[in-house]
């Protein structure tokens, strides 16, 4: 009945997303976990699983654990990316708190078209990487939002000139360094990717290129692997791979 190639409904996307998150944590999902994660009854999950299996997005058989097929994983990553891009925009640029950003991303992700998501991501990264929009710019905005204080625009501008002058020389003199030199929590901009055949494949497939923002999330005790966030994807890089990515801090 249901067309295999049809777009997923919003609720099926939710199911797939939840399965992805559970599988990421525990390697396999059970119906019960999914029901709890989404706040629905187990009976509803069964129906959804059948539909997802019909579309070949999950491996599913009654009473068996549930895992994602490669296509299912790809589809889920796309959904998660939308979610993360929205959430990143809400927290980083709009300055909303974590909870509201999470809630808002959940409610908007299904309607967000791919090209708009791309633009939103590009914009978020652009603002973060642009020296003209520094931390003071962000706090100007937040002051306006919360305190409704009048922006001391003239002072801000004269102060900003000084900052820009410094930034101009910094940008010119910035020496790219390998990703491995960057501290966790710091965001940086990709300047070049070496070893294009090996590392680059995965990254380029995801749309990572010169100018893309990368954030180090966590470094394992021995420095390998390195968990990074790029373009709304969380992924882990080998030390070797990270070495061949050159960046400058944003």
Partner DNA sequence: GTCGTATCTTAGGGCTACCTAAAAATGAGC
Partner DNA sequence: GCTCATTTTTAGGTAGCCCTAAGATACGAC
Binding residues vs a copy of itself (CB under 8 A): 90, 93-96, 100, 103-104, 107-108, 110-113, 115-116, 119-120, 122-123, 126, 130-133, 137, 140-141, 144-145, 148, 150-151, 153-154, 157-158, 160-161, 164-165, 167-168, 171-172, 209-211
The alpha carbon of 107 is separated from its chain's Cα centroid by a whole number of angstroms, namely 17
Using CB distances below 5 to 8 A depending on partner kind, what does residue 249 bind out of a copy of itself, DNA, none?
A: none
Question: Residue 223 touches which of a copy of itself, DNA, none (CB < 5 to 8 A by kind)?
Answer: none
Comparison of 62 and 185: residue with beta carbon closer to DNA: 62
26 or 166: CB nearest DNA? 26
Query: Which of 40, 93, 108, 127 contacts DNA by CB under 7 A?
Result: 40
Does position 39 interact with DNA (CB under 7 A)? The reply is yes
| Distance from C-alpha of 64 to C-alpha of 60, rounded to nearest angstrom | 7
Rounded CA-CA distance 137/105 in Å is: 24
Nearest approach, Cβ of residue 58 and a copy of itself (Å): 25
Which positions from 2 through 21 interact with DNA, judged by CB under 7 A? 2, 9-12, 14
- Report yes or no: 38 and 49 within 8 Å, Cβ to Cβ: no
How many residues touch DNA under the rule CB under 7 A: the total is: 27
Number of C-beta neighbours around residue 127 at 10 A? 15
The residue within the footprint of DNA, chosen from 21, 24, 30, 207 (CB under 7 A), is 30
Q: Is 107 in the site for DNA (CB under 7 A)?
A: no
List b or e across 61-81, with b for residues whose CB sees 16 or more CB atoms inside 10 angstroms: eeeeebebbeebbebbbbbbb
Residue from 205, 207, 208 nearest 191 by CA: 208
Q: What beta strand segments (E) does the chain contain?
A: 58-59, 67-68, 177-178, 187-193, 213-219, 226-230, 233-237, 245-249
Residues that bind DNA (CB under 7 A): 1-2, 9-12, 14, 30-32, 35, 38-51, 62-63
């Amino acid at each position: 009945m249901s067309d295999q190639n049809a777009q997923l409904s919003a609720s099926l996307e939710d199911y797939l997303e939840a399965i992805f998150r559970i599988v990421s944590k525990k390697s396999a999902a059970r119906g019960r976990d999914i029901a709890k994660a989404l706040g629905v009854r187990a009976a509803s999950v069964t129906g959804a699983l059948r539909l997802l299996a019909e579309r070949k997005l999950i491996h599913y058989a009654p009473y068996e654990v549930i895992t994602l097929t490669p296509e299912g994983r790809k589809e889920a990553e796309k959904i998660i990316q939308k979610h993360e891009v929205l959430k990143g925009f809400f927290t980083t640029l709009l300055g909303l708190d974590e909870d509201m950003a999470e809630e808002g991303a959940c409610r908007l992700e299904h309607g967000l078209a791919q090209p708009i998501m791309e633009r939103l991501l590009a914009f978020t990264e652009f603002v973060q990487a642009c020296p003209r929009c520094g931390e003071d710019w962000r706090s100007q905005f937040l002051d306006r939002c919360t305190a409704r204080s009048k922006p001391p625009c003239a002072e801000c501008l004269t102060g900003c000139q000084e900052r820009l002058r410094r930034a101009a020389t910094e940008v010119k003199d910035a020496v790219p360094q390998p990703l491995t030199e960057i501290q966790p929590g710091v965001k940086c901009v990709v300047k070049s990717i070496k070893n294009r055949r090996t590392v680059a494949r995965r990254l380029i497939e995801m749309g990572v290129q010169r100018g893309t923002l990368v954030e180090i999330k966590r470094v394992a005790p021995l420095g390998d692997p390195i968990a990074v966030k790029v373009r709304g994807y969380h992924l882990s890089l080998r030390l070797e791979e990270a070495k061949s990515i050159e960046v400058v801090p944003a």
